[in-house]
Chains A and B, each alone.
Chain A
């Protein structure tokens, strides 16, 4: 379970999060929507300790992570898999080496099992043929999928997806939605998904949260969000330029 309590974060004078509170249950898929630049990536990076909040608390299975030291934090971090918005592949390693990075170091799998896990993970994202390619040889969408394979390879308990379908063709994007659902159903993974794609959101979400102006303005099931009375949410999910949200 993830509990975020009154999280504040500014970069210099720029206030990004001004009191975000959100609880994500075990095994639940939480989709976070919000405008570009609203702080979704910043929020997700706090969950894994990459950014430290100015104030507020984050509990991961009842461990408060914002004040842990490096090694304690890394122990918590290993519960997580994070798909970066920009994939963040290690550019000096092949795709397969990228995927096996965490497996080799932090699991007790044998070489045989590691190799099997690597090809399984790559197969799940449709990249079987890319094992030996270097990141610079991949297209944008392939990088994203390789990043996804790397994140899921060591079977994290919690997956954080930063725009999993952005930059990927609609067919693959839907396959990735299915993958997210499959991981949740088969392995009981807790997921936080950032996306701009409302169709995907409705498909994969147990609940949807909208981040606006540094706060979560509403949380609810896809049905509740669709029928929300908030004009902000209606404007966002219908993608309208006219409405209460002006500063785009």
Chain B
């Protein structure tokens, strides 16, 4: 970094924002152009989706357990023994709307975003991106589009899967371990939960998917200066996409209506 004056920093931030925006724009422009890279899309779907299942399972399971545990404690302590069955809808709502999308988003940005940056960054410094271009292939269409599409489709799938695991684990903690009334727990949950609650989580996760892929590809394509540069790109990818996910999450949550049932 040449100069660290506030002006230069601000300017740098805008420049970077511009660069990501430009990459996003070019990705959208190339989204449906030929040749389509089906093979790579499939590979990425597998890489982002199938191979993330173990991580997502663990994260969602323990997320659900701990959230179930603390909500139980809350009801037990403040409202009184017997009221724990009302924790059902709160646990489910919290998990489906916020906790699972955020946890999955963060885990995937660490697992997938960083590996995108490393892979593309290595291609960049070994001139493989130039080689793509020299063979008449558009690197955006070949590298960025399939990754962005795959992340866009796979993140909601992972989040939905995580919702199920998390909600089951919340149920498991309360009903099976703590002996909360099963019928009441389930009835309360079904009464207050809307499909929309799950849907907002899924909508957000689509956005997170695009953020993870675009940031990873952008950092990869901007990589300069050998192995150290690749390391820097991966770290920055995780930091930038995690923070973006947390910030975007808040604003999307605020923007989307809390319920579709009016009121």
Contact = CB atoms under 8 A, between A and B. Distances in A.
18 contacts: A70-B138, A75-B136, A80-B134, A82-B134, A84-B127, A84-B134, A86-B126, A86-B127, A88-B126, A88-B128, A88-B131, A89-B128, A90-B123, A91-B122, A91-B128, A102-B135, A102-B136, A150-B135
A77 B134 contact: yes
Top 7 closest pairs, chain A to chain B, by CB: A78-B136, A88-B127, A102-B135, A88-B131, A82-B134, A106-B136, A50-B130
Interface string B133-151: 1111110100000000000
Nearest to B136: A78
B227 to A, nearest CB: 14
Contacts of A27: none
Nearest to B126: A88
Contacts of A167: none
A46 interface: no
Nearest to B131: A88
A129 B134 CA distance: 25
A176 interface: no
Contacts of B35: 105-106
B57 to A, nearest CB: 28
A59 interface: no
A84 B127 CA distance: 8
Contact of A74 (B122, B127, B131, B136): B136
A49 B133 contact: yes
Contacts of A48: 133-134
Contacts of A151: 134
Interface in A30-82: 45, 48-50, 70-71, 74-75, 77-78, 80-82
A150 B35 CA distance: 19
A96 to B, nearest CB: 15
A88 B130 contact: yes
Main secondary structure of the interface of B (DSSP, over half): helix
B134 A50 contact: yes
A101 interface: yes
A77 B127 contact: no
B189 to A, nearest CB: 46
Contact of A45 (B122, B130, B137, B140): B130
A91 B138 contact: no
Contact of B128 (A45, A82, A90): A90
A155 to B, nearest CB: 13
Contacts of A74: 133, 136-138
Given A78-B136, A102-B137, 5 more contacts: A50-B134, A86-B126, A88-B130, A102-B135, A105-B136
Interface string A143-165: 00000001100100000000000
A77 B131 contact: no
A81 B131 CA distance: 10
Nearest to B139: A70
A77 B130 contact: no
Interface in B196-229: none
Given A70-B138, A105-B35, A91 B133 contact: no
Contacts of A82: 131, 134
Nearest to B137: A105
Contacts of B137: 74, 101-102, 105-106
B126 A50 contact: no
A106 B133 CA distance: 12
A101 B135 contact: yes
Contacts of A71: 138
A151 B138 CA distance: 16
Contacts of A88: 126-128, 130-131
Interface string B96-134: 000000000000000000000000001100111011011
Nearest to B127: A88
Contacts of B122: 91
